[in-house]
Homo-oligomer: A and B are copies of this chain.
Amino acid sequence: MANYLTERSQKILEAIIEEYIATAQPVGSKVLTRTLGIKLSPASVRNVMAELEELGYLTSPHTSAGRIPTEKGYRFYVDSLLRVSDLDVRQKDQIQLKYRQQGLQMADMLREASRTLSTVCHYTGLVMVPRLKTTIFRHIEFVKLSPRQVLAVFVTQSGLVQNKLIEVDEDLHPRDLEKITNYLNQAMTGLSIQEVRARIITEMAEEKALFDRLLRRAFVLSSAALDDESMGDIIIEGTSHFLEQPEFADLPRMKRIVQTFEQKSILVDLLDRGLEAKGVQVIIGSETEYTELADCSLITAAYSGKRGTLGTLGVIGPYRMPYSTIIPIVDYTANLISRLLDTDND
């Protein structure tokens, strides 16, 4: 037996997967002959199916049922068989419309993206908020709230605003705070956070800083303001869509998945993986390397601002998913968000 697939085998595999995606039922040889373009008898189709099963692309839940795709089947389908079409104009408009309202802050926009992905795809939408260290410094402001508390407000190039409450051990005069603010904004604008951190460390070691009280303070404060790793948060919308999927009908499995979502850390990891990748990425089942998500697929794409990748977004669902329609939606959304982030904040 050949260990490659003839064109006909591929056609049949494709038809099986698409039928299964549509119906969630094991597909038999008979219905295939109807669905399939080629004129072929059920018996011939069965031969091919047996072959595909032996090669590991299909499996049958029991003897007298049809076949369902394996993970390997889906992988092959996504890699080789799938032709993703462009979104049609109507769908593009429908998505774009959601971002029409003015004055959205970045965080709101990302939340909207997650929600839109969820409703358009009928799966759960995921958006990873940009990690602090990959973003570009734009502005920082220190506000004195009480003798011992300073609020740091930090704005990234792409428009993300973050607050951090800093406990200080000395009573800083507002004038000093203002000077610190001015100095930092003038010195750091345009650098990435990583660069800012590096800069702080080297300058603090330098002679000048050793003797300038104010400068020292500036560094201490900004370092406190920026050390927050809590970013890399993720926005999940539309968990309820999971409850529509027949494959998750049993509660314990369902619960495990929802818990995984609530915990977020696993999803953060998975979305992280899409950061360097170009274009849309598909992670199927066990490729996630988490048993909790063994029955799920993720479709992700990175979005970026002016200066490189900011984060990733996508959807998660059962691995029986209409990839051909979901992939362009995720792709389009990532591009749209990238564009909006670029123009929105000059």
**A345 and B145 in contact (CB under 8 A), knowing A153-B163, A163-B163?**
yes
Tell me, in angstroms, the Cα distance from A103 to B145 when the chains sit together.
Answer: 13
A239 to chain B, nearest CB (A): 6
* Closest B residue by C-beta to A236: B262
Q: What are 26 contact pairs spanning A and B, CB under 8 A?
A: A102-B167, A103-B165, A103-B166, A104-B165, A105-B163, A138-B145, A139-B143, A139-B145, A141-B141, A141-B153, A143-B153, A143-B155, A145-B155, A146-B345, A146-B346, A149-B345, A151-B153, A151-B155, A153-B163, A163-B163, A238-B262, A239-B239, A240-B262, A243-B251, A243-B255, A249-B251
CB distance from A139 to the nearest CB of B (A): 6
Chain B nearest CB, measured from A208 CB (Å): 26
Taking the complex as formed, is A176 at the interface, i.e. its CB lies under 8 A from any CB of chain B? no
Number of copies of chain A assembled together: 2
User: Contact residues of A with B, CB < 8 Å?
Assistant: 102-105, 138-139, 141, 143, 145-146, 149, 151, 153, 155, 159, 161, 163-167, 237-240, 243-244, 249, 251, 254-255, 258-259, 262, 345-346
A101 to nearest B CB, angstroms? 12
Nearest to A146 among chain B residues (CB) is B346
In-complex Cβ contact of A161 among B102, B146, B151, B258 (8 A): B151
Nearest-neighbour CB distance to chain B for A166, whole angstroms, equals 7
- B contact residues around A151 at 8 Å (CB): 139, 153, 155, 161
Enumerate chain B residues within 8 angstroms of A238, measured Cβ to Cβ: 262
- A240–B163 CA distance with the chains assembled, in angstroms: 30
**In the complex the two chains form, what is the Cα distance from A141 to B104 in whole Å?**
19
Inter-chain CA distance A255–B122, complex, in Å, is 13
* Most chain B Cβ neighbours within 10 Å, of A103, A105, A139, A243: A243
- C-alpha gap A167/B254 in the complex (Å): 44
- CB of A128, distance to nearest CB on chain B (Å): 18
Give the contacting residue for A240; candidates B141, B165, B258; CB below 8 A: B258
Knowing A165-B105, A346-B146 touch, does A262 contact B243 (C-beta < 8 A)? no
- Cα distance A153–B139 when bound, in Å? 13
- Which residues of B sit under 8 angstroms from A165, Cβ to Cβ? 103-105, 159, 161
Least Cβ–Cβ distance between A67 and chain B, in angstroms: 26
Question: A246 — nearest CB in chain B belongs to which residue?
Answer: B251
Residues of chain B within 8 A (CB-CB) of A237 are 262
Q: Can you name the residue of chain B whose Cβ is closest to the Cβ of A239? A: B258
Contact assessment for A103 and B167 in the assembled complex, using a CB-CB cutoff below 8 Å: yes
A233 shortest CB reach to chain B, Å = 11
A243 to nearest B CB, angstroms? 4
Residue picked from A105, A151, A237, most chain B C-beta under 10 Å: A151
Report Cα–Cα, A153/B150, bound state, in Å.
13
What is the distance, in angstroms, from A37's C-beta to the closest C-beta of chain B? 36
Question: Nearest 8 CB-CB pairs, A to B?
Answer: A243-B255, A240-B258, A161-B163, A240-B259, A153-B153, A105-B165, A141-B143, A146-B346
| Whole-angstrom CA separation of A102 from B166 in the bound complex | 10
How long is the Cα–Cα vector from A146 to B157 in the complex, in angstroms? 11
